Structure 1
């Protein structure tokens, strides 16, 4: 019987094959760029919060052959789909998915303060200011809930990263102030430093719509605002370094 609810897709030039919801949240360049930005060392233990069907964690595992990646997903159907995609790509030995809520103090199978790297693509849109998708799954992936805003996501990243562990996220450039505030130590809780902000310029002369932010838990080092990355030529095609990220699974160019 045909599966009318999902599509069969390929990423990174066919390195990754996966099923995705036909009408829900689907793969995006943001997820692939995020995976390319995670600077994990060999045999690192990595965690993705809000892994969905597994796009970013699968892309990361394709680039870094020795890392182990755990994913957390709130929606049971997406967590199950992610598990099937992990198995379909033969990555059961390195990848796993855990159904859970990033707001919870504990998620079964995951220990706080234990991951070398934690990364996330938090929901972009404030429901009070943006029209929310009528599709429940897409809305849950893209719109902040009142009780799970950007601050909650970054708090969870800090909770699961080990001391001196790395944090990486991608978000709308207009939310950079909120990101920096959430990374600051608050009410006796440890924050992050050595923050590295990478603006993503769609075309030359245009404002950045996205930023990638890297940070180190517990670091006191100052913030660096990098020159950022230009993504497109004037004709709209991707520049070679960015095309290599999206088509071949290359690491994000250093800036």
Structure 2
């Protein structure tokens, strides 16, 4: 196992072994959210995708495992995570995954525009709650110099006309997401709730939008993640293990 990082790494697998992911043992750890995010991006071979705040590269590598020929650029502010994402690209023979160090507040010159932007911004608003004690985890979980509005503004600016933005976030911040999307020239907004179990309130939402579209907002049927026995639902298994797509236009329910 690589040892040139100032933290202990674990050697994990996503998509039923299709993706190998080295990640910090005690920092931010990829779970199902980056896999679901990647599954919701409907890119095609040859198209360009920006993973805004790519971390160790989980979402980018899951997207590339699902769609052959897609070109992904990751933008990441933490130097150690930039090196780790590059190492993960090499471990997965993902030659079309390029990782760039930089901030969303001031992206490197010449970055973009892209056919698609996907992002998993920090879930915690600045000043609310106690940030995690591990620095890398705090950066991933709690907003720093850029709040949620700044993340969405940066994503919109880096999109080509007719390009798509896809993000995953906490359902209780949906009002902030919609407010941040307003006035950015983004339409065809689709909201897909992610329910932990049938009958429960959604904990996460996947939100997509298209630059230059005037299509109305739609709330979609959503995805039930677990059955009553706690195991993943069949629909969730098809995405998390089978590398299926998360539809932004049809039902994903069912246990």
Q: TM-score, normalised by structure 1?
A: 0.93
Shift in Å at residue 18 of structure 1?
A: 2.0
SS in 1 for 2:194: strand
Q: Render the CA deviation track for 1:25-53: whole Å, top value 9, x for unaligned.
A: 11110111001000112211110100000
> How many angstroms apart in 1 are the aligned matches of 2:110 and 2:243?
29
**Aligned equivalent of 1:84, options 79, 82, 87:** 87
Give the structure 2 partner of residue 233 of structure 1: 227
SS in 1 for 2:65: helix
| 1:25 is aligned to 2:28 | yes
SS in 2 for 1:230: strand
Give the structure 2 partner of residue 123 of structure 1: 122
> How many angstroms apart in 2 are the aligned matches of 1:81 and 1:108?
23
| 1:97 is aligned to 2:95 | no
Q: For structure 1, list consecutive stretches of 5 or more residues without a partner in the other structure.
A: none
SS in 1 for 2:133: coil
Alignment of 1:1-255 (within 5 A): 3=3, 5-92=8-95, 94-104=96-106, 106-111=107-112, 114-145=113-144, 147-185=145-183, 190-253=184-247, 254-255=250-251
What is the RMSD of the two structures over their aligned residues, measured on CA atoms?
Answer: 1.4
Shift in Å at residue 172 of structure 1?
A: 0.3
Shift in Å at residue 220 of structure 1?
A: 1.5
Partners of 2:51 and 2:117 within 8 A in 1: yes
Q: For structure 2, list consecutive stretches of 5 or more residues without a partner in the other structure.
A: none
Structure 1 stretches of 4+ with a deviation exceeding 3 A read 1-4
Structure 1 residues 2, 77: closer, same or farther in 2, change over 3 A?
closer
> How many angstroms apart in 1 are the aligned matches of 2:97 and 2:22?
16
Q: Render the CA deviation track for 1:55-94: whole Å, top value 9, x for unaligned.
A: 00000000000110000000000000000110111112x1
Structure 1 residues 107, 180: closer, same or farther in 2, change over 3 A?
same
Q: Render the CA deviation track for 1:164-187: whole Å, top value 9, x for unaligned.
A: 1000000000111111111111xx
Partners of 2:126 and 2:147 within 8 A in 1: no
> How many angstroms apart in 1 are the aligned matches of 2:161 and 2:9?
40
Shift in Å at residue 226 of structure 1?
A: 1.1
Structure 1 range deviating more: 122-131 or 161-170:
122-131
Q: Render the CA deviation track for 1:71-119: whole Å, top value 9, x for unaligned.
A: 0000000000000110111112x11100000011x414513xx211000
Shift in Å at residue 223 of structure 1?
A: 0.2
Shift in Å at residue 194 of structure 1?
A: 0.5
Shift in Å at residue 14 of structure 1?
A: 1.1
Partners of 1:98 and 1:109 within 8 A in 2: no
Shift in Å at residue 248 of structure 1?
A: 2.2
